[in-house]
Structure 1
Amino acid sequence: MKRTLAIGLALLLACGSATAREVAKTPPRPVPLLWKACDADNCIYLLGSFHVLKASDYPLSNDVDAALAKSARVVFEISPTEMQDKNAAAMALFQAGVRMDGTTLDSDLSPAQQAKLAAWLGKHETGLAKSGLGNAALQRLKPWFVAILITQLEYQTAGMSPEYGLDEHMTKAAGDAGKQTQGLETVAEQVRILSGLSVKDQVQMLEESLDESGSTASEIAALHKAWRVGDAATLWKDMGAKLLHDYPDAYRVIDADRNARWLPRLASMLDTPGEKDTLVVVGSLHLLGPDGLVEGLKARGYNVERVCSACAAGNSHHD
């Protein structure tokens, strides 16, 4: 059973606390998941982010540099101004994940699931102790939060970190270029999304994490590779489509509904008279599939096309 929901949440939500570092290498530049939607006088560039990356994923494609240069503003899921206070953002996430009703994590789990949790704790006891995350601490948390903690450990083991995420990189690039920045939603709104997951989905999410802890390195590597080569079809098939099939309610809450809220704002940026272009940086899955922003803008009548010099040269996977 693949950990579709846990990994999907990590890729769809701009949250994370891993601090892995690596020595920079020089592989080929990533092929961007980049589209351009235009009306008569201006354009929006849609850039698909991977919220956890490696130092070796930089520098980015010249296509991304050009889109940033042409844009007067850069829009993220959450405003960089709000994300500057990372302690406040982390605290808001933590507070949402703490149980306030006096119950324990085990109260949501079957005896078999409790045994899996105990086995995982025993396997990672030393590392967890350094972070103060023993059984007593985990018992005070909700299943979704524990599942994300486990997934973050997997990313950290793979040498990936939010520190190198595309959002962090583009925030700095926008600041260095003096671009105006905005957010499509707030930290509080993202926290409500997580809190709104059903207990059933949360528990299944946690059980999958426990079942496959330590064995998902290949899955993470495959998704990372698909992002690096700009393979939109594989990312949708191996993540978006599976999330939709296995967790339709969670897919609606964390992907489709958010896209539907964002689309009018993007359309307004295009419809406002003027020639100012905008670069929008969101999790890659928000751009893909039938509920994605690319198809949403096409349905509204805008001209939307992939921006991919490597695709034109036949050096990558097209959509």
Structure 2
Amino acid sequence: RYRKKIEELESFEFQIKLISELPSDEESFSDALLNMADFESEWKGLEDAWKQGDADLMYELAIGEGMRDFPSLENYYEVLFFKRNVQMAEKLEQCFSDRVCFMVVGAGHLVGPSGVVDLLQKKGYQLKQL
């Protein structure tokens, strides 16, 4: 029986530490949460974009709109997405060098500028969306 080794991109401890070290601008974060007029509709839009394979729309809905509407949350996006994307791309690149890998991440990490796909393409990898 063949068993694949499971490796984590980020440990549970890393994610808890990450959350605990988020910028403490509570007012901006609270404003962003309170101004989510239709949370259910927004998630439905993300789900539909994902099902259609529309990476540009996924980025716009998950990150782009928030960065425009709440510029004070830029540090949150930097910590929660962009810095982590670099680390994820590096770990996946290490995997490419010596084995076949299957990586599971939240879709928001894959799309847009500075997403894992973009970072790997900038290093010369040819990636194809299926």
Secondary structure at 2:112's aligned position in 1? coil
2: CA distance, partners of 1:265 / 1:279: 12
Note closer, same or farther for the CA distance 1:212–1:258 as it changes in structure 2 (3 Å cut).
closer
Letter in 2 for 1:242: E
Note closer, same or farther for the CA distance 1:299–1:195 as it changes in structure 2 (3 Å cut).
same
1:195 aligns with 2:23: no
For residues 216-247 of structure 1, what are the alpha-carbon distances to aligned partners after superposition, in whole Å with 9 as ceiling and x for unaligned?
22112111221222221111112222244432
* Match among 25, 29, 36 for residue 205 of structure 1: 29
Note closer, same or farther for the CA distance 1:242–1:212 as it changes in structure 2 (3 Å cut).
closer
Secondary structure at 1:181's aligned position in 2? coil
2: CA distance, partners of 1:210 / 1:243: 13
Secondary structure at 2:124's aligned position in 1? coil
TM-score (norm 2): 0.83
| Structure 1 stretches of 4+ moved >3 Å | 210-213
Deviation, 1:280, is 0.6
Note closer, same or farther for the CA distance 1:278–1:212 as it changes in structure 2 (3 Å cut).
closer
* Match among 248, 251, 266 for residue 77 of structure 2: 251
Instruction: For 1:27-46, list aligned pairs within 5 A.
Output: none
Residue 237 of structure 1 is matched in structure 2 by: 60
Give the length in aligned residue pairs: 126
Note closer, same or farther for the CA distance 1:297–1:206 as it changes in structure 2 (3 Å cut).
same
1:265 aligns with 2:88: no
For CA contacts below 8 A with separation 6 or more, give which structure has more relative contact order. 1
TM-score (norm 1): 0.37
2: CA distance, partners of 1:257 / 1:179: 28
1:220 aligns with 2:46: no
Instruction: For 1:1-319, list aligned pairs within 5 A.
Output: 178-200=3-25, 202-212=26-36, 215-245=38-68, 246=71, 247-272=73-98, 276-307=99-130
CA RMSD for the aligned pairs? Answer: 2.0
Note closer, same or farther for the CA distance 1:234–1:180 as it changes in structure 2 (3 Å cut).
same
Secondary structure at 1:260's aligned position in 2? helix
2: CA distance, partners of 1:234 / 1:222: 9
Letter in 2 for 1:277: V
1: CA distance, partners of 2:81 / 2:36: 24
Note closer, same or farther for the CA distance 1:218–1:181 as it changes in structure 2 (3 Å cut).
same
Letter in 2 for 1:269: C
Larger Rg belongs to: 1
2: CA distance, partners of 1:239 / 1:262: 18
Point out where structure 1 has 5 or more consecutive residues left out of the alignment: 1-176, 308-319
Letter in 1 for 2:88: W
1: CA distance, partners of 2:32 / 2:95: 40
